[in-house]
């Protein structure tokens, strides 16, 4: 029998290796091991011999202390005192198994195999360099412990495309051409926003070792519209109206994006700046349809004819005494 593992039990304090007390719970041991294994794993410390040795040491310590029966036997051996050495044979003077039975029972339970994983050698199952299956998520970004990394994904490619305001709202078909002549035709979803990124899976560079191809990530730039602006899934428009339309009320025509004008009722006495809503005339997406928000703007005539001027003067006389700023001064003083 190889005496190396037996001597390790006398020479090495597995509790100290993991930084836990001798009465540590299974959860405390697992937590300590996870922290140290993540720190010293060869994938995060390439070509670092010290970390590789430390990783093997903590793996050996965890192998013993995480197994209740092995931990019990280890504690018994450690309690007998350090400094003893054993050689293979039939046992002590009595011919009994003695310590030999303790070690052979532990070390012959699993057997050892050697394999290459990620550029370094591990021993398993249960070997000093093998991470238990229930802890294989420690370095998920490295493909997991004890497993050879799979084929790598191809490189992602980025691109930009420019759409008109209407194309962005309604959706559009775009043909993209790379510097090497590589072409991709894509359909932008209705309602795409300025600056939005669209990911086309599998349209990037091929994998160098047989893995999945990368993705194409397209950034969309949207040109402004001369009349409409976007507010989430709503569209906004400023609607000029005359003084009499705002004062007396009116039915006016309002343009819609890419469609026929619709009729909007302006209530009598509508002030400039009031927002009226036309439902269902905004941006249509797969989830909902927004509204068209109409901001009323009362237009003041710049040039009045003689007759129009007389009419305004008559209006001023008829409404004499009405002061729209009546409460303004009192509110200003109160603040």
Domain ranges of the chain: 4-142, 157-222, 229-318
Chain-centre distance of CA 196, in angstroms? 16
Give the burial string for 188-213 (b: 16+ CB within 10 Å, else e). Answer: beebbeeeeebeeeebbbeeeeeeeb
CATH 2.40.50.140 fits 229-318, yes or no: no
- Beta pairing, strands 172-177 & 183-188: antiparallel
- Binning pLDDT at 50, 70 and 90, where does residue 90 land? very low
4-142: CATH topology is: Helix Hairpins (1.10.287)
Give yes or no on whether 157-222 and 229-318 have one common fold: yes
Assigned CATH for 157-222: 2.60.260.20
Residue 157 scores a pLDDT above 80: yes
Radius of gyration of the CA atoms of the chain, in A: 40
Q: What is the pLDDT of residues 161-181, one digit of tens each?
A: 999 999 999 999 999 887 667
d(CA 199, CA 266): 44
Q: What is the pLDDT of residues 92-133, one digit of tens each?
A: 444 444 444 444 444 444 333 333 333 333 333 344 445 555
The answer to whether the beta carbons of residues 236 and 176 sit under 8 Å apart is no
What is the model's pLDDT at position 145?
A: 46
Number of Cβ within a 10 Å radius of residue 113: 11
d(CA 46, CA 120): 10
What is the model's pLDDT at position 109?
A: 41
What is the model's pLDDT at position 117?
A: 34
């Amino acid at each position: 029998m190889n005496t190396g593992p037996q001597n390790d039990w006398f020479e090495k304090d597995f509790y100290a290796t993991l930084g836990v007390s001798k009465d540590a719970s299974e959860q405390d041991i697992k937590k300590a091991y996870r922290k140290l294994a993540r720190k010293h794993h060869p994938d995060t410390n390439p070509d670092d011999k010290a970390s590789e040795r430390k990783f093997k040491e903590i793996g050996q310590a965890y192998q013993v202390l995480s197994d209740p029966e092995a931990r019990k036997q280890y504690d018994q051996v450690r309690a007998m005192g350090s400094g003893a050495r054993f050689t293979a044979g039939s046992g002590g003077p009595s011919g009994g198994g003695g310590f030999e039975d303790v070690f052979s029972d532990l070390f012959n339970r699993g057997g050892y195999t050697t394999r290459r994983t990620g550029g370094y050698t591990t021993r398993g199952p249960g070997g000093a360099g093998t991470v238990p299956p229930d802890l294989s998520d420690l370095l998920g970004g490295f493909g997991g412990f004890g497993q050879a990394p799979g084929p790598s994904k191809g490189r992602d490619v980025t691109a930009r495309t420019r759409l008109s305001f209407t194309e962005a709202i309604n959706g559009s078909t775009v043909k993209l051409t790379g510097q090497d002549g590589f072409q991709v035709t894509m359909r932008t979803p209705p309602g795409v926003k300025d600056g939005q990124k669209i990911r086309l899976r599998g349209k990037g560079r091929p994998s160098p070792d047989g893995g999945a191809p990368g993705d194409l990530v397209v950034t969309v730039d949207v040109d402004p519209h001369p009349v409409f602006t976007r507010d989430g899934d709503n569209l906004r428009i400023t609607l000029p109206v005359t003084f009499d339309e705002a004062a007396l009320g009116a039915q006016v025509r309002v343009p819609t994006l890419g469609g026929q004008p619709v009729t909007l009722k302006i209530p009598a006495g509508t002030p400039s700046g009031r927002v009226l809503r036309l439902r269902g005339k905004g941006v249509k997406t797969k989830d909902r349809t927004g509204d068209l928000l109409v901001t009323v703007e009362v237009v003041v005539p710049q040039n009045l004819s003689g007759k129009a001027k007389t009419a305004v003067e008559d209006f001023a006389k008829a409404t004499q005494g009405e002061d729209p700023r009546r409460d303004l001064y009192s509110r200003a003083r109160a603040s």
